[in-house]
Amino acid sequence: MRALLAFLLVASAGTAAAQSMTARETAYWDVVTRYATGNRKDAVATIGGWSEKDLDRILKSVQGLEKAARRCEACEDRARFDALPLRAAILLHAERDRMDRVARMQENGGAAECAISANGRMSADLLGPAALQPGGARFASRFYAVFAQHLRSALCFLTSRNWAEAGLKLAPRDAMLLFVDGLASETIGVTGFVEPTLRSERDWRGRQTAGYENLDPKREFSRAIDGFEKALAVDPHLSEARLRLGRVLSRMGRGPEARVSLKQAVEETSGASRYLAHLFLGQCLEDDGDLDGAIGQYSAAMALRPDSQIGAVALAHAHSLRGRSETAREVLEKMLPVAGRRQAADPYWSYAMGSPEDAEALIEDLRRETLR
Amino acid sequence: MSPRRVAGVLVLCASLTSAQTTASPQPTVFATKVESVLIDAFVTGDGGQMPGLTARDFILKDNGTRVEFDLLPAESLPLRAILVFDTSTSMQGLKIERLRAAAEAFVDRLRPEDEAALVSFSDEITWRVPLTTDRARLRFGILSLQARGATSAYDALFTALLVPRSGLRTLIVLFSDGEDNMSWLREKQIKGAVERSNALIHVVAAPPVDPRPGVLRIASDAEIANLKTLRGLAAITGGSLIEVASTDRIDAAFAEIIDRMKNRYVLRYTPESDLASGWHTLDLQLVTRKGKVRGRTGYWVEPR
């Protein structure tokens, strides 16, 4: 964390930058520094006590430094700005925002909580200035992509898409952001809602749903296809985009195109994605009346995950349509004892909405790499 | 009689004899080639269920053609009930407690010769208790129900339709409180499976509840569509969907199902001519008095 060390040196040397800081600003950067240097819990708790007004003042001060830094590439103002631990600050505010939303969710008996708090807004507002720092643009686009996935797994699908779109303004050709944008649209199309808490509330979130009263899954799937295709155009090796493109094309009734995409996904992917590609390709073939082809794909999925109930139901159903009721029954009977004893969750369960654990792992990776 | 395979409601005559004389959970093996359609009929009039009807009170049409049938003594047929229960996260708290209590009461209302099984579904389908007359085993299974995860009602229903051996007629009591959001099977596929099955399905649907205290939860479009689907699936088999206004009515809904089963009429129809493949629409009418008849809407004949 070279930028942070440089900032601390500048501040401790009593330069003009440090001297011009207010006591409140110094206290703020002290909290950020504590977060960056490992006192995570303490820093997240402390920042929760800061008012929106205080945070606003800090933001204005950062924006002032950014403005000065933009005037030159190798001057004192630029060096001073580059030394600000903005990425640590962004992660700190985002973590506090997550904590606040979890607390509100618990107060609400488990209902999803999508309203971004003052800390969440602060992390978003700091992303623009952070992008000016060396390596900052890459961090910002990664942060947008990771948090969009976190919001999706927190059932905040529209906020997730808004987050991805905000990232795309900064990095329009970022394959991961294009993919995540498509991902949010696919989820909205599959689930048929934008965010679960929006129906009964009339706050700003309610206004956000304007235009979604007559949510059209096909429109959402078209957006998803657009996102996945653009992502693949930038990065043809983004195999999860290939898998999801095939799945959404299939949902849109575009069977031949779906089959091409899913066959490619079967060849290019491994692990969970390959298992899903076999299942989805099997469904395409079944819809097309090719029951033997479908049975082959479902069997391939089961070979990868012998404890898959989803695979067993798909396989049994195809066998029953083929007139092999006894085989279908045997497949189901074999799967039933597995319930509750599997080693890992079935990837199909988190396909549509993501899993909070996976999203948390992405955030943790980003935090670890950033604060290294 | 055509040797063509008749799916779903067609069972061998011998199965009926077997069902009347034994409560054995063992699959029955039949030697006879004679196949029959069995129809559970529920008749209601102004005063509720209508007892005391005879075969002369009904007419039955198969694809528009009037056919002969026998009326069987339903009270002597043991029940084979499969309880298929939603144990997704939305069932947490009072709802799962009420479901457990209602299920225990359901088991208590069964006759000694009746069998029951217990299946639960969330992300996973768990066949908790196989068909048994052992009430203690059933109660233990019911008490072990825990709410957690998503809802895969269609997949669970498919499993309950398929796992019991053919020849065994089953009553499926499906309980759910929300939309299916995890099944592999889609509406069209589960409908096809129900049409090909020999089961009678009754559904009990509880209202969705908002986890926030004091917040009235309005069912989403998807939940409303899901209810319509479940109602349709039950109707295919002659069963119905009972929508309970609150969770403390689950017990009454289960009691109503037992009551309906006790007062149902069972018709046996043996087609004499060669059967055309595909869906056969059955039309059962009450002709001698006013009343409403609910019975299986048809059966499926597989192509040669």
| pLDDT of res. B214 | 59
| pLDDT of res. A240 | 95
Residue of chain A whose alpha carbon sits nearest to that of B219: A199
Please list every residue in chain B whose beta carbon sits closer than 8 Å to the beta carbon of residue A291.
none
Does the beta-carbon distance from B159 to A336 stay under 8 Å?
yes
- Asked if A212 is an interface residue toward chain B (Cβ–Cβ < 8 A), one would say no
- pLDDT tens for each residue of chain B, 304 residues long: 333 444 433 333 323 333 333 333 333 222 323 367 889 999 998 878 898 999 999 999 999 999 999 998 888 788 999 999 999 988 888 889 999 999 999 999 999 999 999 999 999 999 999 999 999 999 999 999 999 888 899 999 999 999 987 556 799 999 998 788 899 999 999 999 999 888 999 999 987 766 555 555 566 667 778 889 999 999 999 999 999 988 889 999 999 999 999 899 999 888 766 778 888 999 999 999 899 999 999 988 877 6
CB under 8 Å to A323, separation ≥6 — which residues? B5, B302
Separation of alpha carbons A255 and A258, rounded Å:
5
Residue-wise pLDDT for A21-75, tens only, equals: 789 999 999 999 999 999 999 999 999 999 999 999 999 999 999 999 999 888 9
In eight-state DSSP terms, residue B165 is: P
Could you identify the residue written with the tokens 């003594």? Answer: B73
Separation of alpha carbons A293 and A354, rounded Å:
29
Does the beta-carbon distance from B123 to A317 stay under 8 Å?
no
Measured between CB atoms, which of A109, A309, A329 is closest to B213?
Answer: A109
Sequence letter at residue B4: R
Domain spans of chain B, in order of start: 6-74+264-301, 80-261
Angle at B63 between CA B62 and CA B64, to 5 degrees: 90
CB under 8 Å to B282, separation ≥6 — which residues? B37, B39, B60, B61, B62, B295, B296, B297, B298, B299
Please list every residue in chain A whose beta carbon sits closer than 8 Å to the beta carbon of residue B157.
none
Interface of A with B in 100-119 (CB under 8 A): 108-111
Between A212 and A266, the higher pLDDT residue: A266
| pLDDT of res. B24 | 31
Separation of alpha carbons A145 and B257, rounded Å:
52
CA proximity to B295, closest of B121, B38, B89: B38
- Asked if B277 is an interface residue toward chain A (Cβ–Cβ < 8 A), one would say no
DSSP three-state, residue B289: coil
Does the beta-carbon distance from B5 to A323 stay under 8 Å?
yes
Contact A185, A158 (CB under 8 A): no
Q: Among residues of chain A, what percentage have pLDDT more than 90?
A: 75
Separation of alpha carbons A31 and A13, rounded Å:
19
Identify any residues that bridge with A130 across adjacent strands, giving them in sequence order.
Answer: none
| pLDDT of res. A302 | 96
pLDDT of residue A198 exceeding 50, the answer is no
pLDDT of residue A342 exceeding 50, the answer is yes
Please list every residue in chain A whose beta carbon sits closer than 8 Å to the beta carbon of residue B189.
317
Does the beta-carbon distance from B218 to A199 stay under 8 Å?
yes
Measured between CB atoms, which of B124, B182, B220 is closest to A340?
Answer: B124
Q: How high is the mean pLDDT of chain A?
A: 89
Measured between CB atoms, which of A310, A321, A333 is closest to B163?
Answer: A333
In a mutational test of the B interface, the residue from A113, A310, A348 whose CB has the highest number of chain B CBs within 10 Å is A310
Does the beta-carbon distance from B162 to A316 stay under 8 Å?
yes
| pLDDT of res. B14 | 29
| pLDDT of res. A3 | 47
| pLDDT of res. A29 | 97
Contact A131, A337 (CB under 8 A): no
Residue-wise pLDDT for A281-315, tens only, equals: 999 999 999 999 999 999 999 999 999 999 999 99
Sort B221 into a burial class: Cβ within 10 Å, 0-12 / 13-18 / 19+.
Answer: exposed
Contact B262, B253 (CB under 8 A): no
Q: Which CATH superfamily is domain A270-349 in?
A: Tetratricopeptide repeat domain (1.25.40.10)
- Asked if A289 is an interface residue toward chain B (Cβ–Cβ < 8 A), one would say no
Sort B52 into a burial class: Cβ within 10 Å, 0-12 / 13-18 / 19+.
Answer: exposed
CB under 8 Å to A201, separation ≥6 — which residues? none
Separation of alpha carbons B122 and B177, rounded Å:
11
Q: Among residues of chain A, what percentage have pLDDT more than 70?
A: 88
Separation of alpha carbons B107 and B115, rounded Å:
9
Separation of alpha carbons A203 and A234, rounded Å:
38
DSSP H or E segment with residue B284: strand B278-286
Please list every residue in chain B whose beta carbon sits closer than 8 Å to the beta carbon of residue A109.
210-213
Q: Which CATH superfamily is domain B80-261 in?
A: von Willebrand factor, type A domain (3.40.50.410)
Token pair belonging to A266: 């079967």
Kindly report the backbone phi and psi dihedral angles of residue A30, in degrees, each rounded to the nearest multiple of 5, phi listed first: -65, -40
- Shortest Cα distance from A271 to chain B (angstroms)? 20
| pLDDT of res. B76 | 79
CA proximity to B286, closest of B104, B56, B77: B56
Does the beta-carbon distance from B210 to A111 stay under 8 Å?
yes
Does the beta-carbon distance from A313 to B220 stay under 8 Å?
no
Separation of alpha carbons B128 and A339, rounded Å:
10
Find the mean pLDDT for residues A172-190.
96
- What ranges make up the beta strands (E) of A207-269? none
Contact A176, A239 (CB under 8 A): no
CB under 8 Å to A313, separation ≥6 — which residues? A332, A335, B125, B155, B158, B159, B183, B184, B185
- Shortest Cα distance from B33 to chain A (angstroms)? 19
Sort B68 into a burial class: Cβ within 10 Å, 0-12 / 13-18 / 19+.
Answer: exposed
- Asked if B185 is an interface residue toward chain A (Cβ–Cβ < 8 A), one would say yes
| pLDDT of res. B210 | 60
Between B221 and A199, the higher pLDDT residue: B221
Interface of B with A in 203-262 (CB under 8 A): 210-213, 215-216, 218, 220-222
User: In angstroms, how far apart are the furthest CA atoms of chain B?
Assistant: 62
Contact A136, A128 (CB under 8 A): no
DSSP H or E segment with residue A126: helix A118-132
Could you identify the residue written with the tokens 């917040």? Answer: B215
CA torsion through residues B160, B162, B165, B168, sign: positive
| pLDDT of res. B17 | 30
Angle at A364 between CA A363 and CA A369, to 5 degrees: 100
Measured between CB atoms, which of A314, A317, A336 is closest to B127?
Answer: A336
Complex ipTM = 0.84
| pLDDT of res. B294 | 93
DSSP H or E segment with residue B202: strand B200-205
- Shortest Cα distance from A112 to chain B (angstroms)? 10
- Asked if A314 is an interface residue toward chain B (Cβ–Cβ < 8 A), one would say yes
The CA R_g of chain B, rounded to the nearest whole Å, is 19
- Shortest Cα distance from B47 to chain A (angstroms)? 42
In a mutational test of the B interface, the residue from A107, A336, A346 whose CB has the highest number of chain B CBs within 10 Å is A336
| pLDDT of res. A203 | 37
Domain spans of chain A, in order of start: 1-134, 270-349
